[in-house]
Structure 1
Amino acid sequence: MYQTDALNYPTKVLPTMYDLPSENPEEPGLPDEFHDFQPHLLRKTFHPANYSPDEVFIATDMNLYYDVRHTGWYKRPDWFAVVGVDRLYEQQDMRLSYVVWQEGVNPFVVVELLSPGTEKEDLGQTLRKAEQPPTKWEVYEHILRVPYYIVFDRYTDNLKAFQLTGSRYQELELIEPRIWMEDIGLGLGLWQGRYEGIERLWLRWYDGDGNWISTPEERTEKEKLRAEKERQRAEKEKLRAEKERQRADRLAQRLLDLGVDLEDNENSDRI
């Protein structure tokens, strides 16, 4: 678990997820199609090997509140996952926001999908202005200390991965577009395939054997194909047995035509 120091604060007198807004009403616009589809694929294939589904929280475009001293400051990652935390807030409610001083566990991995207007900030190329909240990079690297920070540009299909080493992010040298995360027994990579009817490179999770993790829809389809193959196999076996029975009947009839009584032969064999 990636604990915060927030547990030392008197949480009952601080704002909770019910007090803090889930979205900024002054921020215009909605995510484009890619920013809608890609996070869904990440969610559907994120199954850490050493955590149960009840110990994993996944969020898309949700406010992430990170500073107990400035309770209105937040970032809104395109996608992030927390492991070792209850799936439901206090085991009973869906979250409106993720408030680290209430949760006590920081995100394990954050994914940002580059847009022309956010590229510099996502890649840590902007400076903090005086009296302004810290940049996205500063929050992930220095405040939340998120172990893995992933940035993907769908326009160039360029994938960058940063791992927290000491107090700094170290960019990983990717020989192939895959990042293995030992702590959760999962890897993240670029998969060429069709999702939501669109053929392209998608970010997707894979298992310890290097196999892409199936979505629920893909598992259903595979089960249908398996059941159909089993039905066809059973049908072939039924036809084979029927042919064998017919062959035996023809042989028995031929013997009878030749005057051979099979029942007499069987009785004489017993004697």
Structure 2
Amino acid sequence: MVLQTPTSAKRQEPLVTWEKLPDDFILPDDPVENILQPPLAAALTDALDAANRLNSQLLIASNFGLVATVDQKIVVKAPDWLYVPQVFPVAEGVIRRSYTPNREGSPVSVVMEFLSETETGEYSVRPTFPYGKFYFYEPILHVPTYVIFNPLAPILEVHRLQNNRYILQQPTAEERYWIPELELFLGIWYGTRLGLTSNWLRWWDESGNLLLWSSEQAEQERQRAEQERQRADAVINNLEQERQRNQALMAKLQELGIDPNTLS
């Protein structure tokens, strides 16, 4: 597949409104395109949760519909991972089916797509219905950070919105990208999670510390507990050895006719 990046040609801005999604609107229910997409998205969210960076006011979801009405047509795109810093709560018992920015909360701050080969895919700037994803996130939703990741290559691209156009960002010396909306670095890490060995997207904090997955935290706690147990066993063994030495000394003194109780 030849990937074509968007051109800087002048485009007619679409008319975007934020209408309530009709209750009978049938949301797309397309299957994910490959086996890596769900675990990649889940791993990103899991690390944030394990680091206590999630709360009830924000929205993080994967393969979840973002809705806009463009030139009077309802458009829905479901990125592989998305982050919205603040959403309005839904009524008790209501399940959020989709998200319409500005109507249901703040604009979308970050979207991520894991590379596929669809006509209106990650690099598509198709400016007509049903619109390419690049076009949908740039002039329609104005998402500040758009991440495209190909885990097989591996290639990671971070596009930042500047003057209403996406600009490809350059990584740090550590091959990471600063994501200001989350105040974290994003980069590629190769390893195994839940039995799957692949290239993963991982978070690092401002000091360069890797945000651990919950499974890594659990393993770290297990190792810490094991080390504490070993230290406790070592103390008990030392005390037992000291007790045995004292017993042997007392026996030797008694053998020599010396009463240990008379020794000061």
Give the structure-2-normalised TM-score. Answer: 0.81
Q: How does 1:1-80 map to 2 (within 5 A)?
A: 14-15=20-21, 19-21=24-26, 23-24=27-28, 29-46=31-48, 52-67=54-69, 70=72, 72-80=74-82
Mapped contact 1:65–1:71 kept (Cα < 8 A): no
Q: In the alignment, is the contact (CA less than 8 A) between 2:33 and 2:116 conserved in 1?
A: no
Check conservation: 1:79, 1:112, Cα contact below 8 A: yes
- SS of residue paired to 1:174: coil
When residues 92 and 108 of structure 1 are mapped into structure 2, their CA distance, relative to the original with a 3 A threshold, is farther
Question: Which consecutive residues of structure 1, in runs of 5 or more, have no partner in the other structure?
Answer: 1-7, 267-271
Aligned residue for 1:105, secondary structure, equals coil
Q: Which amino acid aligns with 1:170?
A: I
Partner of 2:210: 212
Structure 1 contact 60–78 (Cα < 8 Å) conserved: yes
Matched, 1:239 2:249: no
Where 1:235 maps in the other structure, the secondary structure is: helix
User: Using the alignment, how far apart are the partners of 2:112 and 2:181 within structure 1?
Assistant: 17
Q: Give the partner amino acid of 2:263.
A: N
Shift of the alpha carbon at 1:47?
5.0
State the SS of the aligned residue for 1:127: coil
1:95 corresponds to: 96
Encode CA deviations 1:248-271: one digit per residue, 9 max, x unaligned: 1111222222233232234xxxxx
In structure 1, the partner of 2:161 is 164
Change (3 A) 1:251 1:19: farther
For 1:235 and 1:85, the matched residues in 2 are separated by 51
> In the alignment, which residue of structure 2 is the partner of 1:122?
122
**CA distances 1:150-202 after superposition (whole Å, capped 9, x unpaired):** 00123321111111223221110125431112342212110011123222211
Report how far residue 71 of structure 1 moved. Answer: 6.5
Paired letter, 1:227: A
Aligned in 2, Cα 1:89/1:186: closer, same or farther, shift over 3 Å?
farther
* Secondary structure at 2:40 match in 1: helix
Identify, as 1 or 2, the structure richer in helix. 1
Task: Please give the root-mean-square deviation of Cα atoms over the aligned residues, in Å.
Answer: 2.8
Letter of the 1:102 counterpart: R
Q: Does 1:138 align with 2:135?
A: yes
Show structure 1 runs of 4+ deviating over 6 A: none
- TM-score normalised to structure 1 length: 0.79
Structure 2 unaligned runs (5+)?
Answer: 1-16
Aligned equivalents of 2:52 and 2:144: distance in 1?
Answer: 17
* Change beyond 3 A, Cα 1:165–1:42: same
C-alpha offsets along residues 192-245 of structure 1, whole Å, 9 cap, x if unaligned? Answer: 111232222111222222222122222222211211121122111111110011
**Cα separation, 2, equivalents of 1:89 and 1:253:** 79
Asked whether the equivalents of residues 49 and 184 of structure 1 are also in contact (C-alpha less than 8 Å), the reply is: no
Q: CA deviation at 1:74?
A: 1.3
In the alignment of these two chains, the number of paired residues is 247
Q: Residue 149 in 1 paired to residue 146 in 2?
A: yes
Identity %: 30
* C-alpha distance in structure 2 between counterparts of 1:101 and 1:114, whole Å: 28
